[in-house]
Amino acid sequence: MEKIVFIQTGFGVDVHGQDITKAAVRAVRHAIFTNSMPGIEAFLPDGDLNNMVVNVKLALPCDAELLDHDAIKAIIPYGTVTVEIMAGGMLTTSGIFLADKADKNDLMYIVNASVETGY
């Protein structure tokens, strides 16, 4: 990315089921779904949203190898999207094991996201 224009941050939690992709999708949605970038086209080459570059950084507490990168990329509607993974986030107890919610244990997964937008 040559120039970062906008950075959005968020977090996501999977309370039951221990699904790292579900927590990561929620983190990215939290970062981008309450923002608007009016005027972003003025910064982009040819004024085209498809020339936008988006780097999604995710801090995962575990199971990085299970993350569905395509599910993350599908959330971003325009441009070229990359996904970068790093250690972070949090594992903490949900306080209860619920077999009917596909729990493997009583942990909840918390993921942090930073979404960098530019060109």
Q: What is the CATH number of the domain that holds 22?
A: 3.30.1330.20
Cα gap 98→13, rounded to integer Å: 16
Q: Which pLDDT band holds residue 55 (cuts at 50, 70, 90)?
A: very high
Helix (H, G, I), strand (E, B) or coil at 30: helix
- Note the pLDDT of residue 103: 98
- Note the pLDDT of residue 101: 95
Q: Which pLDDT band holds residue 80 (cuts at 50, 70, 90)?
A: very high
Which contacts of 69-72 are long-range, i.e. CB under 8 A and separated by 24 or more positions? Answer: 71/21, 71/24, 71/25, 72/21, 72/24, 72/25, 72/28
Q: In which domain, by residue range, is 11 found?
A: 4-34+42-118
> Is beta strand 90-93 parallel, antiparallel or unpaired with respect to 107-118?
antiparallel
Count of domains forming the chain: 1
pTM above 0.85, yes or no: yes
Average pLDDT over residues 68-72: 98
Q: Which pLDDT band holds residue 87 (cuts at 50, 70, 90)?
A: very high
